[in-house]
Amino acid sequence: MKKYRVGIVGATGAVGQEIINLMEKRDLPVSEIKLLASAKSAGREMKALGNMEEIQETTPESFKNLDFAIFSAGSQQSFDFAEHARRNGCVVIDNSSAFRMEKSIPLVIPEINEDALDNHPGIVANPNCSTAITLMGLYPLHKRFGLKRFFASTYQAVSGAGAQGFDTLENELRASLGESIEPSSLSQSPFPHPIAHNLIPHIDSFREDGYTKEEMKMKNESKKILSLPELKVSCTCVRVPVLRSHSISINAEFESSVNIPDAREAIESFNGTQLMDNPSENVYPTPIQLTENESCAVGRLRIDQALGNGLSFWVVGDQLWKGAAQNAIQIAESMIAKKSFAFTF
């Protein structure tokens, strides 16, 4: 099997490190890995695929002789360097929101719309973490019953805000227990309010209509991935004091009549999603259970009492894995299998 030369942009970040770990776990055929980050990280060494690799500063020349690069350093880095990668014949798999809604750029969850990879301009976008986890639970039901609209409330872990999110929650919890904490560690929070013992219904910036940008990602990305331009979506995104893995409560309305046995069978037979649904035995997905799990899980499945042809359910997934790093690697795996790295300008 051919082996590939791969770059990781944002290699020192939380998602970048998960990408490196999962590349080894999933045995991606890699002959060379180039770890790229900001100038302040350049020169450090990190272990990657069994070797110590020196981190290099990301520059326009970084992508020469690479087959593909996974970007996980934020939208600005993607805007700054994706075109340089493309011009060097390096396919970009981008974890940021920079290109998701560009019409010519595929937005891909391989289990759902892998065929979108057949035609790309050298850039493939990874969806938002909550969108990916939501659709892993919703798509098999859509295939069975035909999705009409859905309402979602997300319960998003602090790791969605990166390493600083982890640190903030842990420091606030320690301070609440009376431990001595450096004041500066409590002043560097990425959140607008304390997160320990709290919920914050505010992720990303607010728009004039009262929705946040994070909430609109759920709507717009779902429509694109599912190829349902008329899909109706309403979402509320909430940050919760959980370290890792996002949870989403969904109320969905379908075109055809729904029933629980068919819904359960649809979820159980879908690759990448598991059914954890036996409430009488306290069986339902929780963030701790799904952390470092390659599957998403659905539970609390029931007929919705407010929507016609409606189902209510709860889906949980590791947003650092299926919501980011794992999905990006699965895109690469699909492109390898399909031999679809070639592109034209």
Is 129 labeled as catalytic in the residue annotation? yes
Under 8 Å CB-to-CB from 7, ≥6 apart: which residues? 33, 34, 36, 62, 63, 66, 68, 69, 70, 85, 90
Is 246 labeled as catalytic in the residue annotation? yes
Q: Sign of the CA dihedral 128, 132, 138, 141?
A: positive
> What are the E-state strand segments in the chain?
4-9, 30-37, 45-48, 51-54, 56-57, 68-71, 91-94, 123-125, 147-156, 232-239, 246-254, 273-275, 296-303, 310-317
Determine which one of 129, 235, 237, 296 is catalytic: 129
Is-contact 70 328, C-beta < 8 A? yes
Q: Extract the tokens encoding 158.
A: 């602090």
Determine which one of 142, 235, 237, 246 is catalytic: 246
What CA–CA distance (Å, rounded) separates 298 from 315? 4
Nearest residue to 150 via CA among 239, 251, 64? 251
- Report the catalytic residues: 129, 246
